[in-house]
Amino acid sequence: MIGKEPLVIYALVFTAALLGIQGLYWLLFKERYEKKAINRRLSLHTQITDASEVLETLRRERSVKFLANVPQLLKVHELIVQSGLKLNGPRIAAPLLGLAVLFFVLLKFSTGSNVAAISLAAPLAFALGYFYVRRTRSRRIAVFSEQLPDALDVIVRGLRAGHPFRVALALVAREMKDPVGSEFGIAADEIMFGLEQPAAIDNLCKRVGQEDLTFFATAISIQQQSGGNLAEILGRLSRLLRSRVKLKLKIRALSAEGRLSAVVLSATPFVLIGLIRLIAPNYFAATNDSPLTMPSIIVGAALLIIGNVTMYRMVNFKY
């Protein structure tokens, strides 16, 4: 019978190898791909000459059909689209199945109960997958927010040079990296193929999910209906967004201590329990049959959640 210590060593070796492969892939392939094309849309244009087929390919990569066809899962589909991940049925099912098996092994190893392992493995796998997609979406929106003022400046320069709005959007798609490059390129292609400008910008807002894009959509809609100097409006909007980005960075700097405290205080109980079980596996054996063990765990978990929610609200607010 294999002891607990070799299993922990095997898990650590597996994790180190996985991270090593990830780093090797990033250095050798990801950097090479980024040098090859400035964004995904331009990369597709080098492979496909038909602009309509490029647009359809980009739409297909960002959509999951079986989720889009189920009304109850439209929010999940919208989350995946805004994350920018290229997912389909097998790419969703395979990681979730692997995570469920991993959680089953870990829960079986830590609790010794098949019932607990089976009942918790699948929910934990779905929860981890959901938080990964949400985290990816947040990172993508953060990058988009940093690029948006520069994209508006490119549009303003194009408009002042005499180009129509669609051509100004195409300039952004040609000169800027993802996610802004491909997203504005899709909007430009939709306008080229007959979609109204406000409708194309609304689709852009839905695909990205960035709040500041509503200002951009409102400016385009008002200018379309009543006219006006769009270049001047977008120039002022660019300056406003830059001020908001500076304020956001200042807030993050001031709240960094609180966010780090939340992470350390949340992780400390689990790290201590893991170290104690690793050093002295039978340390908690006397508490396994105690009637106070489960209520204590429930109360501790509830207090931990309340504390995290409180600290999250202290360092995250509207501005």
Domain locations in the chain as residue ranges:
1-36, 142-253, 257-319
Q: Which fold, 142-253?
A: Receptor-associated Protein (1.20.81)
User: What's residue 1's pLDDT?
Assistant: 43
User: What's residue 28's pLDDT?
Assistant: 59
Encode the chain (319 residues) as per-residue pLDDT tens digits: 445 556 667 677 777 777 777 777 666 555 554 445 578 888 887 788 888 888 888 888 877 777 777 777 788 888 888 988 888 778 788 888 888 888 888 777 766 667 777 888 888 889 888 999 999 999 999 999 989 999 999 999 999 999 999 999 999 988 898 889 999 999 999 999 888 888 999 999 999 998 889 999 998 888 888 877 889 999 999 999 999 888 888 888 888 887 888 888 888 888 888 888 788 878 877 777 778 877 888 888 888 888 888 887 877 766 5
Structure tokens at 292: 């106070």
Model's pTM, two decimal places? 0.73
User: What's residue 34's pLDDT?
Assistant: 47
User: What's residue 30's pLDDT?
Assistant: 55
User: What's residue 205's pLDDT?
Assistant: 92
User: What's residue 256's pLDDT?
Assistant: 83
